[in-house]
């Protein structure tokens, strides 16, 4: 199986190299046969990569510890479930998995566009095969998961205990899909530039893949936050860790693109800007992959020191150079057809929205690379911690949230006093009432209060826009209000799906602000039978117990939790000591509700029966998870095609006939 995997990797590399060369020949000679052959190589590449992944999984499942990667991530004692996830538990295996996803997405793009976008596809194919060739080269020659070790152990080392968590089964694959799929909008944007087809025909496909990446990235880094919240035992979900930032920055750039491209379609403006945003998103993905896999930053999420860092730097520089040269070459054809008439216009607010997204992106980028830069310059690695990121991003985030409500309401070209009176009155009133409710609930700090005012304003804007649209729909076709909303949304998924995404943003911001500014933390020590009060909660400790299995010994405390005197249940915060790695991992006990989370961490104990705990009360955390889930669903909803009015009419007629028949 080792030899089979090696042959598959070699075949995949040769196919990607052939596809790149065939694509170049096809473009230079304008030869459709060579272009089609290059596209066929992408399909064959996926077959070889998939075979290599299956071969590696087989080696893991059968405990072939003579393979260095298998010995480093698996053992005979870990459950089968974690042997499945071990594929992405180490550098070389995860890089093969990454390449497999890239190959699969590239194949989908090629097959989807067999008859569409034929002017763009030869050049887009070059970008795809070039990226495939780079990653396949790394897997085959620099980070090969099928490498043998002569002194292999009888027992494997086993998967990192921090990764032995059910969220690790879905978080890395989903995040990988989000990061890797950024290659697709990059490829189509570069295809449009290189082919010279610079009308708006490249935008729908690029926007659809950007939405795909946007949704998977949001879901991926959120699941990572859930994992950190439950597994690391520090009471939070986002620490501005370099690897967290690496997934956040491309998402910011893509979100800016999804907003700015609307101006291009409506007004013929920001053409060059859109290409720069797509290029930035792709390069930030490669940069994030570099810092994660090179070992230049320290992170609980990052892989160990590796020699592949220079290859990523080279690819980053080469792809950036190609993109910038293409944009510069086509710049005479990218002149805006319209111009900004007023700062009080929808065009201006969208542009400001873009600048705020990029300001956050730059701040996160600078905070992430500063330790690297400081080490190069001074020889000392100076870490930038969460206070820096929070200080910069809170005001920028507030501006973005407010603009989320302003952009749909303000007029194109130039807003008038009548526009402000007609469109802003009720949303502003909604924001004011939401702010009063926050004051009544005890919010006194300035920043949270401003965020809650903005959240209420955006929420009222969304309701107002749905109401206006539904009422207009009812004047065209008399029907119930709910039916009108459904018809309206089905006919314009992009606009009203965008409002669904914004609703998720509002909920997520409420949760982030509540959990960030109003967290309560206490540390205390109890003996059996003693009770400690934390806020509205009381905790009574009973005893310690332990359980053993082949992989670890688990120590857990028995606690009864009460809120306002009412018993909530029994909770078991734990510490797991893993034998092979000699590593202790915390398993927290969490009781979640819409108002707050009770978060209990077992810290230590001694022979005298003293048991130490850390307890956090985290308000509104569930609002974050629900909000981002709504954002993701909204993103996928926007990708669906709009239903035509006559299709809706037929559907409504059929529903009516079925209802009459049932009656």
205-256 pLDDT tens trace: 999 999 999 999 999 999 999 999 998 899 999 999 988 999 999 999 999 9
Cα gap 401→408, rounded to integer Å: 13
> For residues 27 and 123, what is the distance between their CA atoms, to the nearest angstrom?
7
Instruction: Give the model's pLDDT for residue 342.
Output: 80
pLDDT of amino acid 663: 38
Indicate whether 475 pLDDT > 50.
yes
Core vs surface per residue 290-320: b (16+ CB within 10 A) or e:
bbbbbbbbebebbbeebebeebbeebbeebb
The pTM of this model reads 0.94
How far apart CA 537 and CA 591 sit, in angstroms, is 11
Report in angstroms the alpha-carbon separations of 174 from 7, 98, 350, 533, 614. 28, 11, 29, 40, 32
Q: In angstroms, rounded to a whole number, what is the distance separating the alpha carbons of residues 456 and 432?
A: 7
Q: What is the pLDDT of residue 305?
A: 59
Asked which of 268-277, 345-354, 417-426 is least confident by mean pLDDT, the reply is: 417-426
Specify the pLDDT at position 443.
Answer: 92
Report the C-alpha gap between 98 and 180 in whole angstroms. 7
The Cα–Cα gap between 406 and 458 comes to 8
pLDDT at 348 over 60: yes
**Residue range 552-558: average pLDDT?**
94
Rounded distance between C-alpha atoms, residue 19 and residue 13, angstroms: 10
The pLDDT, as a whole number, for residue 477 is: 81
Q: Does residue 289 or residue 655 have the better pLDDT?
A: 289
The token duo for 486 is: 């459904």
130: pLDDT strictly greater than 50: yes
Q: In the predicted model, is pLDDT for residue 612 greater than 70? A: yes
Band of the pLDDT at 349, cuts 50, 70, 90?
very high
User: What is the rounded average pLDDT for all residues in the chain?
Assistant: 91
Pairing status of strand 552-563 against strand 537-548: antiparallel
Residue 169 and residue 81 in contact, taking contact as beta carbons nearer than 8 Å: yes
pLDDT given at position 649:
58
Cβ-defined contacts of 380-387 (< 8 Å, 24+): 385/240, 386/239, 386/240
Q: Is a pLDDT exceeding 70 seen at residue 657?
A: no
Closest CA to 183 of 97, 262, 103, 83: 103
Has residue 45 got a pLDDT over 90? Answer: yes
pLDDT at residue number 150: 82
Average pLDDT on 184-200 reads 95
CA distance 111 to 659: 42
- The answer on pLDDT for 650 being more than 80 is no
Among 43-57, 602-616, 636-650, the minimum mean pLDDT is found in 636-650
The pLDDT of residue 377 is 83
Helix (H, G, I), strand (E, B) or coil at 617: strand
> For 297, which DSSP code?
S
Q: Which two tokens mark 454? A: 């903005």
Cα 493 to chain centroid distance, Å, stands at 22
User: Is 202 a residue whose pLDDT tops 60?
Assistant: yes
């Amino acid at each position: 199986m080792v030899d089979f995997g090696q042959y598959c990797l070699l075949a995949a590399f040769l196919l990607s190299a052939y596809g790149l060369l065939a694509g170049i020949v096809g473009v230079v000679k304008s030869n459709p046969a060579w272009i089609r052959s290059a596209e066929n190589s992408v399909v064959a590449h996926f077959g070889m990569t998939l075979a290599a992944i299956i071969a590696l999984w087989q080696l893991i499942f059968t405990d072939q510890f003579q393979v260095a990667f298998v010995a480093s991530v698996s053992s005979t004692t870990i459950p089968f479930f974690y042997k499945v996830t071990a594929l992405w538990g180490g550098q070389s295996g995860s890089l093969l998995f990454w390449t497999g996803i890239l190959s699969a997405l590239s194949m989908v793009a090629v097959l989807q566009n067999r008859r569409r976008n034929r002017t763009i596809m030869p050049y887009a194919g070059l970008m795809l095969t070039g990226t495939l060739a780079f990653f396949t080269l790394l897997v085959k020659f620099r980070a090969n998961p099928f490498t043998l070790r002569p002194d292999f152990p009888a027992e494997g080392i086993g998967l990192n205990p921090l990764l032995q968590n059910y969220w690790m089964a879905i978080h890395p694959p989903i995040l990988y899909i989000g990061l890797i799929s950024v290659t697709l909008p990059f490829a189509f944007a570069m295809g449009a530039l290189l082919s010279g087809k610079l009308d708006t025909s490249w935008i729908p496909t690029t926007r659809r893949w950007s939405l795909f990446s946007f949704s998977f990235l949001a879901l991926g880094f959120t699941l990572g936050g859930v994992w950190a919240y439950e597994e690391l035992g520090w009471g939070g979900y986002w620490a501005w860790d370099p690897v967290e930032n690496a997934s956040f920055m491309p998402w910011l750039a893509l979100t800016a693109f999804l907003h700015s491209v609307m101006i291009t379609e409506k007004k013929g403006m920001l053409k060059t800007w859109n290409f720069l945003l797509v290029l930035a998103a792709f390069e930030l993905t490669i940069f994030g992959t570099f810092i994660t896999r090179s070992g230049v930053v320290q992170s609980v999420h990052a892989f160990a020191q590796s020699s592949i860092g220079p290859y990523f730097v080279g690819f980053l520089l080469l792809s950036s150079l190609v993109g910038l040269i293409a944009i510069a070459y086509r710049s005479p054809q990218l002149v805006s057809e319209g111009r900004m008439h007023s700062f009080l216009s929808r065009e201006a607010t969208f542009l400001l929205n873009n600048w705020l997204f990029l300001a956050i992106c730059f701040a996160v980028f600078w905070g992430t690379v500063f330790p690297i830069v400081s080490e190069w310059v001074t020889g000392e690695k100076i870490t930038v911690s969460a206070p820096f990121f929070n200080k910069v991003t809170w005001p920028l985030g507030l501006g973005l949230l407010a603009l989320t409500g302003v952009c749909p309401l303000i007029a194109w070209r130039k807003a008038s006093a009548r526009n402000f009176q007609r469109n802003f009155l009720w949303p502003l009133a909604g924001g004011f009432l939401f702010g009063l409710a926050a004051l009544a609930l005890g919010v006194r700090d300035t920043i949270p209060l401003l965020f809650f005012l903005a959240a209420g304003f955006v929420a009222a804007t969304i309701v107002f826009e749905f109401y206006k649209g539904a009422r207009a729909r009812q004047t065209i076709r008399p029907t119930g209000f709910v039916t009108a909303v459904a018809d309206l949304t089905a006919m314009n998924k992009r606009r009203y799906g965008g409002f669904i995404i914004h609703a998720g943003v509002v909920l997520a911001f409420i949760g982030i602000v509540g959990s960030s500014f109003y967290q309560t933390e206490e540390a205390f020590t109890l003996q059996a039978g003693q009770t400690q009060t934390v806020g509205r909660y009381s905790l009574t400790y009973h005893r310690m117990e332990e359980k053993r299995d082949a992989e670890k010994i688990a120590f857990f405390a028995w606690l009864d939790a009460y809120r306002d005197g009412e018993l909530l249940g029994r909770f078991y915060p734990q510490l797991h000591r893993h034998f092979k790695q000699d590593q202790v991992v915390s398993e927290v006990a969490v009781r979640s509700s819409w108002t707050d989370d009770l978060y209990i961490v077992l810290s230590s104990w001694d022979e005298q029966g003293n048991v130490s705990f850390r307890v956090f009360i985290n308000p509104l955390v569930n609002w974050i998870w629900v909000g981002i889930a709504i954002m993701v669903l909204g993103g996928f909803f926007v990708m669906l095609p709009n239903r035509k009015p006559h299709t809706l009419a037929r559907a409504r007629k059929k529903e009516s006939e079925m209802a009459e028949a049932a009656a």
